[in-house]
Amino acid sequence: MAKITSRLARVSATVLALFISLVAQQVSVDGEWELAAQTRNGDVTWKVVFTQEGESLTVAMTGPRGGETKGTGTLKEKIIEWTVKVATPRGELEMAYKGVVEGDTMSGEVRRGNIGTAAWTAKRKVS
């Protein structure tokens, strides 16, 4: 009886681990998003394309004037983080995004070098 109980416990633990792994993998940001960041000069909209491989992200952002910047990041469960570097007249500016994904929307905060932070929201573009 003890062997059956032990075996059942191991099988249950394995099934639970597989279930948790599948649930964690269900969050996907792959594809095109529209991101709006609040700045002191008003909202700025970016086209963002995420390419996701597991928890790793490759990010391409196109600004309102058409310039593109690329970066990398991670998606762990619902927490998304990525960093890009933007060329400015004063030199390169690192922008570090952190937020939470909720289905086809996400929101968070971006740290813009030593300029400060700004709130942002994004929604998945529908084809």
pLDDT digits (tens, 9 = 90+) for 38-88: 888 888 999 999 999 999 999 999 988 888 999 999 999 999 999 999 888
pLDDT for the residue 22 = 47
Segment 11-29 shows an average pLDDT of 61
> Whole-prediction pTM value?
0.77
- Asked, for residue 22, whether it belongs to a domain, the answer is no
- Asked, for residue 60, whether it belongs to a domain, the answer is yes
- Asked, for residue 21, whether it belongs to a domain, the answer is no
pLDDT for the residue 14 = 66
Structure tokens at 117: 């932070």
Domain that holds residue 54: 28-124
Question: How do residues 90-103 score in pLDDT, each as one tens digit?
Answer: 889 899 999 999 99
3-state helix, strand, coil in the chain (%, to 5): 20, 60, 20
